[in-house]
Structure 1
Amino acid sequence: MDQKEKILIVDDEKIVRESFYHWFIEDNYIVDTAEDGETALIKYAKEKYDLLLVDMKMPGMSGLDLLSKIKAIDKDAIIILITAFSSVPTAITALKNGAYDYVTKPVDPDELAHLVKRALEQRALKIENVQLKENIDEIIKPDNLIGESFQIKKIYELVHSVSSTDTTVMIRGESGTGKELVAKAIHINSRRKYSPIITVNCGALAESLLESELFGHEKGAFTGAQFRRKGKFEMADGGTIFLDEIGSISLMMQVELLRVIETKQFNRVGGNELIKSNFRVITATNESLEDLVKAGKFREDLYYRLNVFNILIPPLRERRDDIPLLVNFFIKKFSCAMNKKIKNISKEAMDFLMNYQWPGNVRELENAIERAMVVGKSDSITVDDLPFHVSRNNLELPGDEKSLASIEKKYINRILNENDWNISKTAKILEIDRVTLYNKINKHNLRKAE
């Protein structure tokens, strides 16, 4: 956290206030306390608090009354209630009136700490989305969704067209083309802009973990489920859920996903309560879902449910005119972040970038510029600053000696000689391991000059 969050503890029992105070001070929060609802209201009017922890039953103003009054002042206030087990039905009513969550007595310190951390993370995500919306003009302009090619301009148009609706969107494109950036652009231009966009990488999680990640779970639902946890669909209420790598989920999970998208209802893992959530769905894939449908690996009904509005992002090699714009953007970005004085790129280095195929697309280009900025010594990026896998594909050799094998042989031989055949140092420069380097030396029959 860049800045400490501030918590207000409201409880009429001094021992409880002091216990909570010390718990959260140890977790590096700023903590304030109030002994009743009236005092809490006065403090809330004067100070800015990120979260309130409120006892349900207090003399005078109850926790439920305080919740209503605080929400009337600040509808975005995060309030967690503390209740006895017998008061759980009342706590559930409080949830419907805007409380974030509740914990039952006796309070488990670890459970409470986990709940507070999650609540503050969600608050930060909401703030981030609001800030994104406030800067929406800059986000949609070509200097952020970067490009002036006709393909990118078409994507701008599609983003503007679909943002005003709640239509389900499928974004297609190779890895690294910027699918998540387009999804966020759609969200922050939509009426859901003040609620979060929740991203799930479906390909990064095992099926058992994905179910819990999407739908949440109750405490004790499975081994290791020590706390009740909201799932991504629940967190996306009012906002957007972005399901990346949608083609990687199992057929069994596809059934669950189809049901949730159609009904906007689900149960947490291990729970019986029916959860309702109002979300928009945006998906992304780098696979051909049509081929997966034909192969029986993706449900046809889910495919048609998701493929309502289609946006195809072209690979970088098909919009090479955008490369100089992207390069300049990344140079400015990293020169600021690294406090470097590199301001431009040599013509020779740019020619190399323009001729490279970029299988990793914009992400690979960004990584290449970042690497060049790290190793660069002058005020301009040179060919020597570029990663080997980029520069070796563009080497110009005399005569007709243009094959990739001959280019590789000449380049490796040059680096070996420059480093007096130090294998470890050469391998590091070439960004390959020692075994691979030995194999290439044998392959090209290279020998150290006597």
Structure 2
Amino acid sequence: MSEPRVLVVDDDEGIRRYCSSALKALGSYEVSTTENGETALKLVSEQDFDIVMADVNMPKLGGLDLLKELHQLDPDLVVLLMTGEPSVDTAVDAIRLGASDYIQKPFSPEDLISHIRLGLEGRQLRRENQVLRRHIEKSYAFDNLIGESDAIKKVYHLIQQISQTDVDVLINGETGTGKEMVARSLHRLGSRAEGPFIPVDCGAIPENLMESEFFGHERGAFTGADARSIGLMELAQEGTFFLDEVAELPILLQAKLLRALQERKIRRVGGKEFINANVRVIAATGKDLDAMVRENRFRQDLFFRINVVRVNLPPLRERDGDVVLLAKYYLDKYSKECNKKVTQFSSEALEVLQRYRWPGNVRELQNAVRFGITMTLDEEVGTDNLPDSVVSESGAGGGLSPDAGFFELRDQHMAQFEQEYLARLLENHRGNVTQAAEDAQIPVGTYYRLMKKYDLKAGSFR
């Protein structure tokens, strides 16, 4: 971990030397000093400091005025004010203006170190809160990766193999397969577990803001940049930077990200200084990056950089036996969250869940279970409580077969009945959907949804 950088600002050379010697003797700090506030402002605008110690009573630009100027440059900067003439009013003003602390001269080296550490810890907490505001953290436990199929066991094994390394990883999988959950597993089980996990949805950030969000910006870098802002990659220091939907990155930003990953250094927008980026990068996508590289829609060199190890997540339809296991797990979990005593699925409902294709994978299954718990009035979720689309489409995929079971034949006959019934009502009412829905005693919206399912057009019956 890099040493915290401290800038000591005091017109008394003895104080500057005392602070520098104490910090270097009792801790691992990189210390710079200056005798006035004007030079301090110039240094902070050109370099990165973690904390500034400033004397309150200096000629021209005193500590309180310097504090205001510093926080305009960098709101995240820790500022510790020193004074040999303490007063309640000065202390109150210092805290009100955003000073992290107020220390009275003379002070012991141990007291100085204590104040410095408290200031840095406070900044770390603020940064963590900033991350939480930008990205809502999701409840997580490794055991949430549930399944006993051979396909998912291969994923477990690969996670265990690569979690203790620091290589960059590419996770491939359809929507809803749990790509972020795997990324969090790799982070939690690895050597960076104590560091931050910073997720960024590459498809959700406007293109004109991407560079600033990724790398941060300096004050005045562009219109509206009123203060320095720390980028997401810098916030991920000592931890994991998770690029979700990496295929959505525009080509221009791909080039800048490649350079950052190669050199492990970043430069804020409008800045001159390079900043070390000690991060592990995990990227995820549901798209075929190999094809995108061939079509020149994704940089080949960036692809090679992030594709050191690839984790391919199987879709739920290829995870034999896991649907029932997951459905029962989520039934227990969501029943408690909803304060409902729902304890089981009917055998017919389980049959439907197993035969449905789950194009939305685990996420769609979660929603279906939540829906079933919400709709049931007793302790069991039946087919009537599952989403219409899941029930009706669970029998799709082929004509009548002599080997078809009861549920498959029932669903296929039901689909045939629905289509013929809807068409007959439309014909009777000459394509008037409202009258047909009234005759069928179902909502007009439901009738339209069924028409779409069976590709029925009202105009064809007029």
TM beyond 0.5: yes
Percent identity, please.
35
Larger radius of gyration: 2
Residue segments in structure 2 that go unaligned for 5+ positions in a row = 1-54, 58-63, 69-80, 87-96, 396-405, 426-433
Which amino acid is 2:346 matched to?
S
2:208 matched residue in structure 1: 208
Cα 1:437–1:306 change in 2 (3 A) is: closer
1:324-352 CA-to-partner distances (Å, cap 9, x unmatched) read 11101111121111101111111111111
How far apart, in 2, do the equivalents of 1:323 and 1:201 lie? 28
Could you tell me which amino acid in structure 1 is paired with residue 179 of structure 2? K
Distance in 1 (alpha carbons) for counterparts of 2:387 and 2:112: 57
Q: Residue 113 of structure 2: which of 64, 68, 71 is its match?
A: 68
1:203 offset after TM fit, Å? 1.5
Cα drift, residue 402 of structure 1:
2.9
For 1:371 and 1:267, how far apart are their aligned partners in 2? Answer: 47
Q: Does 1:120 align with 2:118?
A: no
SS of 1:364's partner is helix
> Which residue of 1 is the match for residue 412 of structure 2?
402
User: Could you tell me how far apart the structure 2 residues matched to 1:274 and 1:336 are?
Assistant: 50
Distance 1:124 1:192 in 2: 22
Match of 1:140 among 142, 149, 161: 142
Contact kept, 8 Å, 1:316 with 1:358, in 2: the verdict is: yes
Taking structure 1 as reference, are residues 411 and 222 closer, same or farther at Cα in structure 2, changes over 3 Å only? farther
User: How has the CA–CA distance of structure 1 residues 165 and 67 changed in structure 2, closer, same or farther, with 3 Å as cutoff?
Assistant: farther
Using the alignment, how far apart are the partners of 1:66 and 1:251 within structure 2?
Answer: 51
Partner of 1:277: 277
Query: Helix, strand or coil for the counterpart of 2:220?
Result: coil
* Distance verdict in 2 for CA 1:397–1:192, change over 3 Å: closer
Q: What is the match of residue 187 of structure 1?
A: 187
How many Å separate the matches in 2 of 1:348 and 1:436? 26
**Is 1:442 the equivalent of 2:458?**
yes
3-state DSSP of counterpart to 1:205: coil
Give, as a single letter, the amino acid of the residue that structure 2 aligns with 1:382: G
Provide the rounded CA distance (Å) in 2 between the counterparts of 1:63 and 1:360.
Answer: 62
Amino acid of the structure 1 residue aligned with 2:419: K
For residues 400 and 329 of structure 1, the distance between their equivalents in structure 2, rounded to whole angstroms, comes to 28
CA contact (8 A) 2:100 2:119 kept: no
- Show the counterpart of 1:337: 337
Deviation of 1:220 after TM superposition, in Å, equals 2.9
SS in 2 for 1:156: helix
The DSSP-based 3-state class of the residue aligned with 2:443 is helix
CA distance in 1, matches of 2:152, 2:408: 38
Q: CA deviation at 1:173?
A: 0.7
Residues of 1 paired with 2:454 and 2:414: CA distance? 18
- Are residues 289 and 421 of structure 1, via their aligned partners in 2, closer, same or farther at CA, if it must alter by over 3 Å? same
Number of the residue aligned with 2:388 = 388
Report deviation, 1:62: 7.8
Residue in 2 aligned with 1:155? Answer: 155
Q: Which residue of 2 aligns with 1:77?
A: 121
Contact 2:176–2:363 (8 Å) recurs in 1: yes
Q: Distance in 1 between matches of 2:293 and 2:103?
A: 59
Note the 1:29-428 alignment, pairs <5 A: 54=99, 58-60=103-105, 68-70=113-115, 77-79=121-123, 120-122=129-131, 139-141=141-143, 144-394=144-394, 402=412, 406=416, 408-409=418-419, 420-421=438-439, 425-427=443-445
Compute the displacement of 1:53 (Å): 5.1
SS at match of 1:78: helix
Is the CA contact (8 Å cut-off) linking 1:55 and 1:63 kept in structure 2? no
3-state SS, counterpart of residue 175 of structure 1: coil
Q: Distance in 1 between matches of 2:113 and 2:422?
A: 71
Q: Which amino acid aligns with 2:155?
A: I
Measure, in 2, the Cα distance between the counterparts of 1:146 and 1:418: 46
Give yes or no for contact 2:82–2:105 (8 Å, CA) kept in 1: no
CA distance, structure 2, for counterparts of residue 169 and residue 58 of structure 1: 47
1: CA distance, partners of 2:219 / 2:108: 24
SS in 2 for 1:166: coil
After the TM superposition, which of the residue ranges 56-65 and 248-257 deviates more from structure 2? 56-65
Residue aligned with 1:368, SS:
helix
Cα separation, partners in 2 of 1:324 and 1:245, compared to 1, 3 Å: same
Asked if 2 retains the 8 angstrom alpha-carbon contact of 1:12 and 1:59, the reply is no
CA distance in 2, matches of 1:403, 1:308: 50
TM-score by length of 1: 0.68
Shift of 1:177: 0.5
Superimposed CA distance per residue, residues 75-114 of structure 1 (whole angstroms, 9 cap, x where no aligned partner) = 97214xxxxxxxxxxxxxxxxxxxx5xxxxxxxxxxxxxx
Q: Deviations over 1:414-441 (max 9, x none)?
A: 9x999844888352x57x6699599747
Taking a change above 3 Å as real, the CA distance of residues 160 and 424 of structure 1, as seen in their structure-2 partners, is same
Q: Is the 8 A contact 1:348 1:382 kept in 2?
A: yes
Segments of 4+ in structure 1 off by > 4 A? 34-37, 55-58, 61-67, 116-119, 122-126, 395-401, 410-414, 416-424, 432-439, 443-446
The normalised TM-score by structure 2 is: 0.66
Say how many residue pairs are matched.
357
Contact 1:57/1:63, CA 8 A, preserved across alignment: no
The CA deviation string for residues 338-383 of structure 1, in whole angstroms up to 9 with x for no partner, is: 1011111111111111111111111111111111112221111111
Asked if the contact 2:218–2:229 (Cα under 8 Å) also holds between the matched residues in 1, the reply is yes
What CA deviation, in whole Å up to 9, does each residue of 1:215-256 have, x standing for no partner?
Answer: 112233223333321111101000001101111112211110
AA partner of residue 321 (structure 2): D
Q: Kindly provide the amino acid, as one letter, of the partner of residue 384 in structure 1.
A: D
CA root-mean-square deviation: 4.3
Moved more, 214-223 or 379-388: 214-223
Match of 1:135 in 2: none
Alignment partners' CA distance in 2, 1:262 and 1:404 = 59
**Cα deviations across residues 153-211 of structure 1 (Å, max 9, x unaligned)?**
11111001001100111111111100100000000000100111111111222322221
Please, which runs of 5 or more residues in structure 1 have no aligned partner?
Answer: 1-10, 21-33, 40-51, 80-99, 101-115, 133-138
In the alignment, the residues of structure 1 paired with residue 451 and residue 419 of structure 2 have an alpha-carbon distance, to the nearest angstrom, of: 16
